[in-house]
Structure 1
């Protein structure tokens, strides 16, 4: 059975099982099936309401210090001298939590000259899970504007980082970010990640997959309706992207799959559907010391217990964006 067929079977069972409280949906102006996902995901109506009530101020405001140019303590001192209040972000060695600042972060001189990059607390974690420090061939298969590609470059400034995206506009933004941060080892391709095998094999590969962005619900830009059919379309694309990306790994190579979504359908179900259809791959523990384990049961659908090695992040539990991260090795 193909990965897409396995996925569709799971999606069908989930769709039939979801039931949600209509009063909660009305209160937050969301489809009933969307609220049903949160109740099923979090285990109770009470916690689903906690998830829905989280706002932008409940998520840590963080930056990634560009340690190729300045260390974290020195940047902290420079920002504090300009009346910002900062502290180390304990889950990333180059992260700072900005507790208060008199001006927008993007307006600081230190930002303009590339001493830091504005990046969410969970967004920094997939590259830490990837550990690209000693790899010689590295790819970011859906790079967008380059937040994680430049982070990979920061870990390994001596190896080429291949960055792919289907949006020319985003690649132009990546070029600007790479130039500002001094990440000169990034090679960008205007390419669909489903064609990545044409570029050869990789030692490390990040697939921060296009998704519904449901983990961004705390932010005004992310608070919108996401009906079940949108989730299912995203999951089908993610299966195709993940299959292609895994096939481009060399022996012993590792891939990190991540989304800024908390949906089971876009994460554990996608990963399990692909791994059950391909031989020669295994899940590796996401060694971050932070986050909840991956789900292995949801709305009547069960996946293998090794999916617990993935890591999940929730705004109301971890004060981060909603994120899910899995790590896979080619044997």
Structure 2
């Protein structure tokens, strides 16, 4: 009998569900299931949902690690997993109830990728997860998973090779690395096959955990020692001074974190301050500032003097900036709830950072759900907003002021395209273009991609997230139009 014949009604059920018996499923799998269901049904962000669910369940470090691996791995490989499930079911996965769909995906991921998970435990927990709402659908889940488990010769989800077995076209690469085809096609056309293969492969790797040391309060050695005392491992970043790469530790419990001696920040994100390089006493504008990590770094760079006006349009995010500044002991961070497009009304500034809302295609390692949530049509709306924010920040600068445009995406239209449109617009004649990498620590200039108007960082360059930076300087009053690359 086929799995489909055993199923009662595994297709979509609009009723609110709470599935499975709490004591019958391992805490890690229950936590992963709840997070994936929130992502699937409520469009939650996986990293936020993980923190909330695991805290509520009181998961220990081991269960938290496994739940995180299941959630992130399931979301990264979703396209590939759906193909495996569809091959064993006459009911397309898109027609399944969300509980059944999520349960199957996470179970298949464990069967194929997590060899340390016992297959019988994976299947049994999957069955228990659907029993609470659709008891008869449990036999369907059991049948599909047993059929997949019997295929002893099926390989693990493949990795895109960089040599003779490399995919020959975007569609093949998208399938092998579990990406949307449209996304890979854009990268392939822009970056070329080799870089696109490396990018897709790196998107399926776990992201590193890095700490930026608050040098106003501590030292790299002191923070590294606190990591070791907590049972973790830490070593200085080989590319960015003042940053530690750490593992095996709950950062929130570090004494140095609680005292404001360090912050969690990706290495690529720390380059916002390196690119702007504000001087002590300056008036600095940071648009779209929440949760405040870059604002704090700018304030630290200014040695706690001057003012960083940290602007965000969302009222509920202002307390995040306030808490960050308070923990780090930075009285020169001043949160403001406002629309960044109204930046000129906030005053005249020596420098401005526009960390623009973007598609997030540079942080797919951390937010893999964005693979499946983003659509090509999203880009046009984002580009319009990004251009408006950049133009507004430009109008708020004094002569000779510094303007930095940054995104955490790998998308030419959102990056070089926005800067090009700004320079060609009515305000662009007042600005010169400078190379951000001229200000970065060596050897980042040689490791990153120089574009027409800025610098693109890809995750495989040095392990940081995918970021873009452009640096512009407002001309002194009366200067003529020109473009300079230092």
Note if 1:109 corresponds to 2:255. yes
Question: In the alignment, is the contact (CA less than 8 A) between 2:281 and 2:305 conserved in 1?
Answer: no
Query: What is the aligned partner in structure 2 of residue 280 from structure 1?
Result: 430
Query: What is the aligned partner in structure 1 of residue 470 from structure 2?
Result: 326
Question: In the alignment, is the contact (CA less than 8 A) between 1:212 and 1:230 conserved in 2?
Answer: yes
**Larger relative contact order (C-alpha < 8 A, sep ≥ 6)?**
1
CA distance in 1, matches of 2:177, 2:357: 25
Question: In the alignment, is the contact (CA less than 8 A) between 2:433 and 2:472 conserved in 1?
Answer: yes
CA RMSD of aligned residues (A): 1.9
Query: What is the aligned partner in structure 1 of residue 110 from structure 2?
Result: none
Query: Which of residues 274, 277, 289 is equivalent to 1:128?
Result: 274
Q: Secondary structure at the match of 2:198?
A: helix
Query: Which of residues 143, 150, 157 is equivalent to 2:289?
Result: 143
Query: Which of residues 316, 329, 351 is equivalent to 1:204?
Result: 351
Question: In the alignment, is the contact (CA less than 8 A) between 2:226 and 2:254 conserved in 1?
Answer: no
Against the structure 1 CA distance between its residues 23 and 50, is the aligned structure 2 distance closer, same or farther, given a 3 Å change threshold? same
Deviation at 1:223, TM superposition (A): 4.4
Deviation at 1:78, TM superposition (A): 2.4
Question: In the alignment, is the contact (CA less than 8 A) between 1:137 and 1:159 conserved in 2?
Answer: yes
Which protein has the bigger strand share? Answer: 1
Question: In the alignment, is the contact (CA less than 8 A) between 1:64 and 1:116 conserved in 2?
Answer: yes
State the TM-score, normalized to the length of structure 1. Answer: 0.84
Against the structure 1 CA distance between its residues 142 and 217, is the aligned structure 2 distance closer, same or farther, given a 3 Å change threshold? same
CA distance in 2, matches of 1:231, 1:38: 14
Query: Which of residues 186, 190, 211 is equivalent to 1:41?
Result: 190
Query: What is the aligned partner in structure 2 of residue 187 from structure 1?
Result: 334
CA distance in 1, matches of 2:301, 2:313: 25
CA distance in 1, matches of 2:385, 2:471: 19
Against the structure 1 CA distance between its residues 149 and 73, is the aligned structure 2 distance closer, same or farther, given a 3 Å change threshold? same
Against the structure 1 CA distance between its residues 66 and 188, is the aligned structure 2 distance closer, same or farther, given a 3 Å change threshold? same
Q: Deviations over 1:142-171 (max 9, x none)?
A: 101100011111111110110100111211
Q: Deviations over 1:197-229 (max 9, x none)?
A: 001211111111110110011224454232221
Q: Secondary structure at the match of 1:62?
A: strand
Flag the structure with larger Rg. 2
Q: Secondary structure at the match of 1:206?
A: strand
Query: Which of residues 165, 169, 173 is equivalent to 1:24?
Result: 173
Q: Which moved more, 1:71-80 or 1:27-36?
A: 27-36
CA distance in 1, matches of 2:263, 2:204: 19
Note if 1:63 corresponds to 2:211. yes
State the TM-score, normalized to the length of structure 2. Answer: 0.58
Aligned residues, how many? 297
User: Which runs of structure 2 are paired with 1:1-331 in the superposition (5 Å)?
Assistant: 21-44=170-193, 46-55=194-203, 57=205, 59-98=207-246, 100-101=247-248, 103-156=249-302, 157-221=304-368, 223-225=370-372, 226-277=374-425, 278-286=428-436, 287-288=439-440, 289=442, 290=444, 291-296=447-452, 307=453, 310-331=454-475
Q: Secondary structure at the match of 2:404?
A: strand
Question: In the alignment, is the contact (CA less than 8 A) between 1:207 and 1:245 conserved in 2?
Answer: yes
Deviation at 1:243, TM superposition (A): 0.8
CA distance in 1, matches of 2:261, 2:255: 9
Q: Secondary structure at the match of 1:128?
A: helix
CA distance in 2, matches of 1:135, 1:205: 14
Question: In the alignment, is the contact (CA less than 8 A) between 1:135 and 1:203 conserved in 2?
Answer: no
Against the structure 1 CA distance between its residues 56 and 109, is the aligned structure 2 distance closer, same or farther, given a 3 Å change threshold? farther
CA distance in 1, matches of 2:368, 2:256: 26
Against the structure 1 CA distance between its residues 266 and 135, is the aligned structure 2 distance closer, same or farther, given a 3 Å change threshold? farther
Deviation at 1:140, TM superposition (A): 0.6
Q: Show structure 1 runs of 5+ residues with no match.
A: 1-19, 297-306
Against the structure 1 CA distance between its residues 165 and 58, is the aligned structure 2 distance closer, same or farther, given a 3 Å change threshold? same
CA distance in 1, matches of 2:175, 2:432: 42
Deviation at 1:29, TM superposition (A): 4.7
Q: Which moved more, 1:173-182 or 1:84-93?
A: 84-93
CA distance in 2, matches of 1:285, 1:49: 27
Which protein has the bigger helix share? Answer: 2
Q: Show structure 2 runs of 5+ residues with no match.
A: 1-168, 476-486
CA distance in 1, matches of 2:396, 2:410: 26
